[in-house]
Structure 1
């Protein structure tokens, strides 16, 4: 924690209630940043110390906590708010803009230390919340660069963004009346790949890339990093949620085969031959569609009925489906001739099609219920936009974008840790809720 070793003899915090500054007090007190502070102080050495490292760092945190979009906005707040200056560790003098520019460059050069802070906070949360990481969700958030595209991207002058590129997301589906819809979103900037806990809505791992980088390879990388840094989270994780952008056979296999995590990932229709259903192996009257819904045809009337899902058998790695006539009590003229008449059920191996058949059947009520939990990451993305300033920002460059995302996420985690330790668990996801 970047605590100022020597404060003034009398300060505002000793004679007045901190009020809204209590939020900043919690962040400063519980932020595990001592190693970063010591490293920055060693790098400064015997150089000029007009503005202390710890005070500068605290003011950067204050800018995020109090939602200042620019450094100039933060400086104006520091100039008129003596209580905030005292909390950060400044005297009456506010650092000029160029001091902040140089300090932010120093922070970017020490990105590894910020990553260590993030990992330490994740481990702390795992200790405080034993079920943290039980249900994980992943998504890629688009973040536009403040700069516009320049034809000459070779020169780095601090104004143009030579790192960013164009990203494209395509959303498509089918209306209830059968008509198709399609929406395309393009942006120039970056992408934040984020894994969060779907219950507590708190980050677990992240990566910042150019906008054009595909989400699936980054998902594999993030899973490996979680396994290396936080093995307990991977061990305890049961469900992994993602939208159809992560519909990948290798990812689905990796989750279940390597980690025994049940993937709940939406699926794309990859059947290009126009078929609505496919025949199940070793059966003549049982078919399935691309979403994994299983149907049987009556041998006599050829009437199609949806089979009842009977659960997942982990030892056999099979999905069990029951005869609809037996399960629902429906009259079926061809029941005696049906191929599932012996046990009144069939078993489908996951290996039939690993994308379609997953440990939680896509046609089950549980899959639908679990998938609704994916909206947790949408709410986290919304908080990053609204509360942490990514909706309106002045960020250019990949290093600065990663640094800014890192600071936002470590503050998010720090707020959660301090709220729990201060017996304010109901407020642990909020940045703006008063302490």
Structure 2
């Protein structure tokens, strides 16, 4: 969750942690203004929209290495923290993150970046829907899961021009393909090691992530995370810690009143 400080950094200090924005009102020759920026990486409960653990990093640092770190913090802070599913956007797309979560018996529901290959396929085999293409370069159809946990695919009826046979007067393709989704970190990433990527079950799980987005929106609007007035990682971390503690305290007050469903909206907006 990138946030931006009010005070701009002079263009003469381009190596400060933060980011770059282009502005028509900038006074430097290149029209570039440097500013301090920060990212907040958070573990939150998707059911109740509650913040559990977070880390603050400079705005110019990659997101993906922070997933194991913030998860370790949540595991260390709460003995009861034993999630079965973790959702994240494609900023956390990395094979190492899938391996880490799978090793914790957590189903990694993470959006992945678009393929960069010329044929627009992942690993030269799988399309954007994580379906393998047969030798005729036609998307195959998911059939089911074997007893060993392998995903089984076959060519669609009347599919490619290879290995065709006549069965009952209907043209079929004989190509059958199976793959163990946990055989390698890259296959975990492309296929999904527990819940098959882009299946209805996968989409339902990923949709729960939006409760976390609502939490971010509430924190930004109600606790001045959108336009903070401090600078430096230590000060920003303290600011965010107090913000999340205030949110948790407000949610606890709602629980004590018996309003479990109102926890997510418990924090009033700060003027």
TM-score (norm 2): 0.76
Kindly provide the CA deviation profile for residues 213-243 of structure 1, in whole angstroms up to 9, marking residues without a partner as x. 221222111122222222431x3x1111111
Change (3 A) 1:366 1:289: same
**Cα offset, 1:316, TM superposition:** 2.9
Alpha-carbon distance between aligned partners in 2 of 1:307 and 1:320, rounded to the nearest angstrom? 8
The answer to whether the 8 A contact 2:131-2:139 is kept is no
For 1:123, the equivalent position in structure 2 comes to: none
For 1:356, the equivalent position in structure 2 comes to: 190
1:333 aligns with 2:188: no
Alpha-carbon distance between aligned partners in 2 of 1:290 and 1:144, rounded to the nearest angstrom? 34
Q: Quote the RMSD (CA, aligned, Å).
A: 3.2
Alpha-carbon distance between aligned partners in 2 of 1:429 and 1:279, rounded to the nearest angstrom? 41
Change (3 A) 1:214 1:331: farther
Kindly provide the CA deviation profile for residues 311-361 of structure 1, in whole angstroms up to 9, marking residues without a partner as x. 5x6x73422346644xxxx985134xx143xxxxx4311226232121222
For 2:56, the equivalent position in structure 1 comes to: 208
Change (3 A) 1:199 1:164: farther
For 2:252, the equivalent position in structure 1 comes to: 417
Residue correspondence of structure 1 range 256-295 to structure 2 within 5 A? 256=102, 258-272=103-117, 274-277=118-121, 287-295=125-133
**Cα offset, 1:150, TM superposition:** 3.5
**Cα offset, 1:394, TM superposition:** 1.7
**Cα offset, 1:296, TM superposition:** 4.5
Which residue of 72, 75, 78 corresponds with 1:227? 75
Alpha-carbon distance between aligned partners in 2 of 1:331 and 1:292, rounded to the nearest angstrom? 31
Kindly provide the CA deviation profile for residues 68-107 of structure 1, in whole angstroms up to 9, marking residues without a partner as x. xxxxxxxxxxxxxxxxxxxxxxxxxxxxxxxxxxxxxxxx
The answer to whether the 8 A contact 1:321-1:347 is kept is yes
The answer to whether the 8 A contact 1:290-1:356 is kept is no
Residue correspondence of structure 1 range 20-31 to structure 2 within 5 A? none
The answer to whether the 8 A contact 2:142-2:151 is kept is no
Change (3 A) 1:240 1:410: same
Q: Give the number of equivalent residue pairs.
A: 242
Alpha-carbon distance between aligned partners in 1 of 2:8 and 2:121, rounded to the nearest angstrom? 47
**Cα offset, 1:309, TM superposition:** 4.8
Alpha-carbon distance between aligned partners in 2 of 1:331 and 1:405, rounded to the nearest angstrom? 67
Alpha-carbon distance between aligned partners in 2 of 1:331 and 1:276, rounded to the nearest angstrom? 35
Which residue of 362, 366, 383 corresponds with 2:201? 366
Change (3 A) 1:253 1:267: same
Change (3 A) 1:423 1:321: same
Instruction: Considering fraction of residues, name the structure with more strand.
Output: 2
For 2:19, the equivalent position in structure 1 comes to: 167
For 1:193, the equivalent position in structure 2 comes to: 41
Change (3 A) 1:410 1:279: closer
Alpha-carbon distance between aligned partners in 1 of 2:120 and 2:260, rounded to the nearest angstrom? 49
For 2:24, the equivalent position in structure 1 comes to: none
The answer to whether the 8 A contact 1:296-1:307 is kept is no
The answer to whether the 8 A contact 2:141-2:156 is kept is yes
Unpaired runs of 5+ residues, structure 2, are 22-33, 158-167
- The DSSP-based 3-state class of the residue aligned with 1:355 is helix
Alpha-carbon distance between aligned partners in 2 of 1:228 and 1:377, rounded to the nearest angstrom? 21
Change (3 A) 1:379 1:279: closer
